[in-house]
Amino acid sequence: MSFIQDLADYIAANTALVIDANMYIGEEPVSSPDECITLLTSPGSSRTESGMDVQVLQVLAKGKSFIAAEDLAQIVHDLLANKPGFDGLEDVLYSEVINSPYPVDRDGRGRYVFSSNYIMRKKQEEEES
């Protein structure tokens, strides 16, 4: 399974967010609710010689009001920020915050958009020989 799917499962297990209901991977559907988050992988991910993968992750949180969007972004941020180890995500060694949630803009539906970015350092998956 892909890393971002595992991460979505982890967020779903630890918050009230539900995959494909108010949490999306990669792309947000047109019919999304006013308050939702989208998980995206970002360029910059790499494999290192030390056996550690670098996964760059972006979380977009949206809400009809500024506070609703910020609260939603903060829920995910508290779950992901600067943590050594994740229960249920055994491969992830630790996470680093590139930036905490901040308001970027409003989208076509007038919703406030908060963006936060993380680096997840994880063990490399063993390749099948």
Distance of CA 30 to the CA centre of its chain: 20
The answer to whether the CB of 73 falls within 8 A of the CB of 59 is yes
Binding segment for other proteins (CB under 8 A), chosen from 10-18, 63-71, 82-90, 110-118, is 110-118
Measured from the CB atom, the residue of 71 and 96 that comes closer to other proteins is 96
Q: CA-CA distance, 32 to 26, in Å (whole number)?
A: 13
Beta bridge partners of 84: 94
The answer to whether the CB of 35 falls within 8 A of the CB of 66 is no
Confirm or reject binding of residue 105 to other proteins (CB under 8 A).
yes
Contacting residue, 4, 54, 68, 81, with other proteins by CB under 8 A: 54
Contacting residue, 40, 68, 75, 89, with other proteins by CB under 8 A: 40
Least distance (Å) between residue 72 CB and other proteins: 15
Confirm or reject binding of residue 52 to other proteins (CB under 8 A).
no
Confirm or reject binding of residue 80 to other proteins (CB under 8 A).
no
| Residue recorded with tokens 């979505």 | 8
Contacts of 39 by beta carbon, 8 Å cutoff, 6+ apart? 4, 7, 8, 11, 23, 24, 25, 26, 57, 58, 59
- One-letter amino acid identity for 111? R
Confirm or reject binding of residue 58 to other proteins (CB under 8 A).
yes
Q: Where does this chain bind other proteins (CB under 8 A)? A: 27-28, 40, 42-44, 46, 54, 56, 58, 60, 98, 104-108, 113, 115, 117, 119
